[in-house]
Structure 1
Amino acid sequence: MTATLGAPPRRLPREADVVQRGRTTLVVLVAIAGVVGIAGGIFFATTAGDVEGAGLALLYALIPLPLLWWTFWWLDRYEPEPPRYKLAAFVWGGVVAVVIALGLQILAELWFDLTLEQMATYLAPVTEEPAKALFLLLTVLRWRRIIDGVLDGIVVAGIVGIGFAFMENIGYYAVSYLGEADAIGPTGASGAAATFFVRGVVSPFAHPLFTASVGIGLGLAVGRRSTVAKVALVAGGLAVAMLLHGLWNGSASSGRPELFVLTYLLLGAVLLGYGVLAVVARFRQVRTLERSLHYVALRGWIHPDEVPYLSRFSYRKAARTYAAAHYGPDTARAVRRYQELATEMAFLHDAVMTGRRKPHGVERTFALLDAMHAVRPWVRLPPPLRVPRHLS
């Protein structure tokens, strides 16, 4: 049979190819904004005054990115959002949100006589957090299936926050190098290093934490039928984001170390709470995936012996390793795609069966099943596992 089928096609079917519109427009807009962001980042870096300062500003802004990106990638592994949306979230945070916030702050400076402390404590939170949150609102309005729970909200919001912090940090490091930072302290390379310690080492999760409050509110809101409840949850999340942001900026600019330490401990507790919430939500995703796949198997859409190799990551990896070792990389690629399609189908099927509103949910479920069936002839899985009784 393998010889008859030959190698799987290089481009395997994707659900997005069947039901999604506006993909090209999104890619083009993200590309344009990305180019603008690169130019803007270089411009902010050059405000350091020389090549060394610009290089340090860019380097220090880049250092925390792998850890931050890995954190949200790990949280998003079971029901991953399309990479283009993650990239769009990062670009929005680093470009669009920065432009909106800066524009509002410049107007506020022209209209009001504000001190630096007032700008940091009050103006920055009420301009920056709504600018970041706007991406999440637009995502729900345009692509409602991207955020359908608390974990999705945390992931998307966190990535927006990463983008915003990245661009903002370039400016802070450049200003610190030049010696025009708000706080009195060292300048040059030492000044940039001191600011990096505060922003890149001590508090790299600050902006993702603030924006995650909006993501949690929005994740809770999408499951509500009442419009009043939805608005209240989103508004509450935004209010918490602005409050946390204001507390952080106010304590940092107050000149009172004890206030800064207390605020840091408070935000650390909030971060820990959000982290626990995200991990619990991720664990629930695993249970949902397994439950839905078993139900799909009972309906005869997939074979029951496939379920372990489509759910737990250890078994999924073992299946790909087995396929690569016994049948080659093309078969391993087919197994990976089959697993991806099954995961997306299972979560969507569970949402439809539990009554959650999903645009074209039934049609998309069958489109995913069709794509799975198109890939299945090239899939080779290991021998069946003994499934625990509580999962059968």
Structure 2
Amino acid sequence: MSGRSPVPVTGGGAVVPPALLHHPRSALTWVTTAVLGVGALVIAGLFVAFGGLGPVALVTFLAALAFPVILLVIFWLDRYEPEPARYRLAAIGWGGVVAVILSFVVESAAALVTGNESFASFAIVAPVVEETGKGLFLVAVVLLRRSQVHGLLDGVVYGALVGVGFAFVEDILYYLSALNEGGAAGLTTTVVLRGVMSPFAHPLFTAATGLGFGIGATSTSRAKQVVAPLLGYLTGIVLHGIWNGSTVYGGRGFLTAYGLIMLPLLIVIISIAIWARSREGRMLLTALQQTVQMGWTRPEEVRWVARISDRVSARRYARMRAGKPAAQALRAFQQTMIEIAFLHNRFVNGTAPRDVNQRMLGLLDRAAALRPFVVLPPELPQPTLPGGPPGAATAPGWIPPGLPEWYGPGAGTRPTRAGWS
């Protein structure tokens, strides 16, 4: 229990237990928050010591202006199966704290050998070190929170968020240096080059790494699980190296790399992400229809979970009919149903964790506990998939080795526990 007081849903006195509205925070979450918080304070203190409070406040504001649009695009891509806010913040924090500190330490040590202004330092050392520091977040997610990676889009989202955090802090440093060395003119030039023309650079590099991790994490092929992340990581390094190396050749080299490589690849990555987003929407609807067939989901619930616009409309209706707590309960219920659908899809694709039944039981129990507090709009015709009416999808007809019998044929329409419908 979180310690919050129960929240009434209706005037009749029904309440939503706080534990149903708020996921408990693990020890890892608290440790991560503390480490990132302390690291951020250290970096901020160093910036103030280097440039003074006023200049730091100015360049921090200018650096922040570059990223709202990028974040909106990332969050839009992530709307079908939104990542928990704490993981989004952890990704940004990792890029802005851990990756920055690792890069500073390692690059400073390498500069003793290559020199600060050498081509090797710009085009080889910096890309390898920085993409490694950022990519370690994806390694940590796959190793410690594998259940959070449901597809290649999750990898792109996490990678891009890490890149945003790194670019934000790096921009502050570059802006401070430009202000100290070139005054207002130097700062303006740097802001245009980094904050206007290329704020997407670091998010793009690490999104390429994330794409590889997303593909590998959702593949049944052992070779692909290793090769895809490695190729994504190497792609990020190569892109970063080309970007940094182009600056050595002056404005013409920079503009050539910008127009012929960076912008086209940005379009490619965004196109892949939009395609993956569309596929997630279709998958979510299919999986929810399959859970209806298995008796875990009510048919009238599918519409208000599968479609983003209908999710919002349903929460608005719940708020109008029963107040803010009802909208909160519905939001929690929708998120739980989304998790059920994505876990079920992983089972169908053969990529489910071996404790899939335990996880599914927990999600079904949570959905069942929330269902009495759910207020839905009046029933409307259900959305259909091309080629068939609602309910045309069927449950999978096979069981991966080592999984208990209930998640598959021969076990009836649901697990042996009752109460999900």
**After TM superposition, is the score higher than 0.5?**
yes
Q: Which runs of 5+ in 2 are unaligned?
A: 1-8, 391-421
What secondary structure, in the 3-state scheme, does the structure 1 residue paired with 2:148 have? coil
Say whether the 8 Å CA contact 1:27–1:84 is kept in structure 2.
Answer: no
The equivalent residue for 2:256 is 262
1:6 to 9, 13, 19: 13
- Is 1:309 paired with 2:310? no
Aligned residue runs from structure 1 range 71-90, under 5 A: 71-90=73-92
Letter paired with 1:104? V
Change (3 A) 1:60 1:3: closer
* 1:33-182 superposed matches below 5 A: 33-48=36-51, 50-113=52-115, 115-179=117-181
In structure 2, the CA distance between the partners of 1:6 and 1:302, relative to structure 1 (3 Å rule), is: farther
1:12 Cα deviation (Å)? 4.5
Structure 2 distance, partners of 1:338, 1:114, is 54
Compared CA separation, residues 389 and 84, structure 1 to 2 (3 A): closer
Q: Which residue of 1 aligns with 2:367?
A: 372
Q: Which runs of 4+ in 1 moved over 6 A?
A: 2-5
Check if 1:31 corresponds to 2:25. Answer: no
Answer yes or no: is the 8 Å Cα contact 1:56–1:189 preserved in 2. no
Matched, 1:382 2:371: no
2:272 corresponds to: 277
Mark the CA change 1:298 to 1:226 in structure 2 (over 3 Å): closer, same or farther: closer
Pairing partner for 1:336 from 311, 321, 331 = 331
Range with bigger deviation, 167-176 or 66-75: 66-75
In structure 2, C-alpha distance between the alignment counterparts of 1:365 and 1:14, rounded to whole Å: 18
Change (3 A) 1:388 1:40: closer
Offset at residue 210 of structure 1 (A): 0.4
DSSP-derived class of the 1:285 partner: helix
Amino acid at match of 1:76: D
CA contact (8 A) 1:214 1:234 kept: yes
For the 8 Å contact 2:114–2:120, the answer to whether it is kept is no
Task: Please report how far the alpha carbon of residue 29 of structure 1 lies from its aligned counterpart in structure 2 after TM superposition.
Answer: 2.5
Q: Which structure is higher in helix share? A: 1
- In the TM superposition, residue 280 of structure 1 has moved relative to its aligned partner by 0.7
Report the CA distance shift for 1:282/1:304 in structure 2 as closer, same or farther (over 3 A): same
The aligned amino acid for 2:253 is L
Secondary structure in structure 1 of the residue aligned to 2:352: coil
1:9 partner letter: V
Aligned-pair CA distance for 1:45: 4.8
Instruction: Please tell me whether the aligned partners of residues 319 and 326 of structure 2 are also in contact (alpha carbons under 8 angstroms).
Output: yes
Shift of 1:225: 3.6
Amino acid at match of 1:285: E
- Equivalent residue number for residue 247 of structure 2: 252
User: Residue 152 of structure 2 contacts residue 218 of structure 2 at CA under 8 Å; is this kept in 1?
Assistant: no
**2:193 is the counterpart of 1:198:** yes
What amino acid sits opposite 2:265 in the alignment? Answer: V
Deviation of 1:267 after TM superposition, in Å, equals 0.6
Could you tell me how far 1:114 is from its partner in structure 2? 5.8
CA contact (8 A) 1:293 1:307 kept: yes
The SS at the match of 1:383 is: coil
Whole-angstrom CA distance in 2 between matches of 1:110 and 1:56 = 32
CA distance in 2, matches of 1:366, 1:328: 30
Given candidates 281, 285, 289, the residue that maps to 1:286 is 281
Alpha-carbon distance between aligned partners in 2 of 1:85 and 1:288, rounded to the nearest angstrom: 23
How many angstroms apart in 1 are the aligned matches of 2:231 and 2:308? 35
Distance in 1 separating the partners of 2:59 and 2:48: 6
Q: Which residue, out of 306, 318, 323, partners 1:323?
A: 318
Deviation of the 1:148 alpha carbon: 3.0
Tell me the distance in 2 between the aligned counterparts of 1:62 and 1:161: 14
Cα distance in 2 for residues equivalent to 1:59 and 1:192: 13
SS at match of 1:80: coil
Shift of 1:293: 1.0
| Distance change in 2, residues 1:301/1:147 (3 Å) | closer
Q: Distance in 1 between matches of 2:308 and 2:322?
A: 21
Aligned equivalents of 2:57 and 2:185: distance in 1? 14
TM-score, normalization: structure 1? 0.90
Contact (CA 8 Å) 2:95, 2:163: kept in 1 or not? yes
Q: Which moved more, 1:30-39 or 1:234-243?
A: 30-39
- Show CA shifts across 1:148-186 (max 9, x none): 32100000011111111111111100000011xxxxxxx
Letter in structure 2 aligned against 1:291: T
CA distance in 1, matches of 2:233, 2:306: 35
- More off after superposition, 25-34 vs 197-206: 25-34
Q: Equivalent residue for 1:183? A: none
Aligned to 2:404: none
- Amino acid across the alignment from 1:153: G
Q: Which runs of 5+ in 1 are unaligned?
A: 180-186
Q: How has the CA–CA distance of structure 1 residues 359 and 38 changed in structure 2, closer, same or farther, with 3 Å as cutoff?
A: farther
The question of whether the paired residues in 2 share the 8 Å contact of 1:309 and 1:315 is answered with yes
1:260 CA drift (Å): 1.4
**Contact 1:152–1:219 (CA<8 Å) still a contact in 2?**
yes
Query: Structure 1's 148 and 322: CA in aligned 2 closer, same or farther, altered over 3 A?
Result: closer
Output the amino acid matched with 2:149: I
- The residue identity in structure 2 corresponding to 1:47 is F
Q: Please report how far the alpha carbon of residue 376 of structure 1 lies from its aligned counterpart in structure 2 after TM superposition.
A: 0.8
